[in-house]
């Protein structure tokens, strides 16, 4: 319990020194986390674009016209999720 009080005092000192409120700090942390998520899914998209030497829409069209192996289908699902997630985080950040 004593350590918890010290931690609260340290937080208050740090926030006070930086002229930050807890609310502002939490907002900034949320923005940083959203950028991290966007970056993660962009990297995943880049990985698949390099692996298949095409963008997702082109890959998706080819995928739907052929019988794919399990590995290719797995990549398709993962890539599709990365694109959807990338769009989600871009939309969130656009609202800021």
User: pLDDT, tens digit, for every residue of 4-52?
Assistant: 566 777 877 887 888 888 888 889 999 999 999 999 999 999 999 999 9
- Residue 69 gets the label, from left (phi > 0), alpha (psi -120 to 50) or beta, of beta
Quote the tokens at residue 22.
């807890």
Domain ranges for the chain: 29-94
CB-based contacts of 84, cutoff 8 Å, min separation 6: none
Q: Please tell me whether the overall predicted TM-score, pTM, comes out greater than 0.85 for this model.
A: no
End-to-end C-alpha distance for the chain, whole angstroms: 38
For residues 86 and 41, is the Cβ–Cβ distance under 8 A?
Answer: yes
pLDDT digits (tens, 9 = 90+) for 46-88: 999 999 999 999 999 999 999 999 999 999 999 999 999 999 9
């Amino acid at each position: 319990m004593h350590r918890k009080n010290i931690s609260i005092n340290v937080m208050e000192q740090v926030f006070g020194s930086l002229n930050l409120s807890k609310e502002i700090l939490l907002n900034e942390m949320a923005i940083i986390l959203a950028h991290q998520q966007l970056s993660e899914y962009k990297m995943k998209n880049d990985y698949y674009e390099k692996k298949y030497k095409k963008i997702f829409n082109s890959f998706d069209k080819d995928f739907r016209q052929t019988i794919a192996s399990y590995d290719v289908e797995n990549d398709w699902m993962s890539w599709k999720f990365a694109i959807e997630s990338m769009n989600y985080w871009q939309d969130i950040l656009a609202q800021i």
